[in-house]
Copies of this chain bind each other. A is one copy, B any other.
Amino acid sequence: MEKGKLYLIPTPISGSDFNSTLTKKDVEIVSRLKYLIVETPKTARSYLASIELENSIREIEMRVFDEHSDLDNLQELLQPILLGNDIGLMTDAGTPCIADPGEEIVLMCHRLGIEVIPMIGPSSIFLTLMASGLDGEKFTFNGYLPRKPNKRIKSLRYLESRINKKRGSQIFIEAPYRNQVMYDDILKLSPELNLCLGIKVGDKDGKVTTMPISKWKERNVKLDKVPIIFILGK
């Protein structure tokens, strides 16, 4: 029997409308799927409610995969694919497998020879980098930097040294309630370094701003506890 495919479905990073998140072609594919692997069924259902489905939402079989899931059961999770059905994988907000869960499921698909189809969608990391004006030929996403103050500043100085060695733009994130302490530490770096803040990118009042640190210092910036993508670069 021919195996099904795994579709990686990005979900809205703001609002809950698939029409402003996916391409028309991919909305059509999602509308036909009968099997889904999701983080939170309630959230997944709210996204599905924004588009016209071919089947009743009750007919869609949802299996949950989150941080509590047993990695030994991955093959069971993928059972419908082995029986010839396509499955869609969606997380609560964002792009599966990029700073978001899903890697283990995808890697298992590669082991089992299952085709994995990534759908076009919003990634706040990529959207911010696009709109930053900073080096997009070379860049690193560093995830979270260390939390402890002395380790954080050390880590920021390491990123600065990478930029000076022509290793490209350095991207990182922070827990929203630590945005301000992160920002205050960034201002301790070289004044000519560029800092880009992607604040609530993907949201209708989202904004991407790039300035040298010297310019940021002239403003009295107070960051809200909202998702921010930080990029340092030349």
Indicate which residue in B23, B102, B107, B130 contacts A95 across the interface (CB closer than 8 Å): B130
Residue-wise, chain A 95-138 has the 8 Å CB interface mask toward B (1 for contact) of: 11111101111111110000111101111001111111111111
Do residues B120 and A133 form an inter-chain contact, with CB atoms below 8 A? no
Does residue A85 face the partner (Cβ distance < 8 Å to B)?
A: no
Copy tally for this chain in the complex stands at 2
At the interface with chain B, which of A61-69, A181-189, A208-216? A208-216
Residue of B nearest to A8 (CB): B130
Do residues A131 and B143 form an inter-chain contact, with CB atoms below 8 A? no
Does residue A140 face the partner (Cβ distance < 8 Å to B)?
A: yes
Q: Main secondary structure on chain A at its contact with chain B?
A: mixed
| B residues less than 8 Å from A25 (CB atoms) | 19-20
Does residue A37 face the partner (Cβ distance < 8 Å to B)?
A: no
Residues A110 and B136 in contact in the complex (CB < 8 Å), given A118-B201, A123-B126? no
Interface centre among A8, A99, A133, A211 (most CB of B within 10 A): A133
Q: Please give the distance in Å from A78's CB to the nearest CB on chain B.
A: 13
Do residues A120 and B120 form an inter-chain contact, with CB atoms below 8 A? yes
Residue of B nearest to A128 (CB): B118
Q: Which residues of A contact B (CB under 8 A)?
A: 8, 19-27, 95-100, 102-110, 115-118, 120-123, 126-143, 167-168, 201-202, 207-211
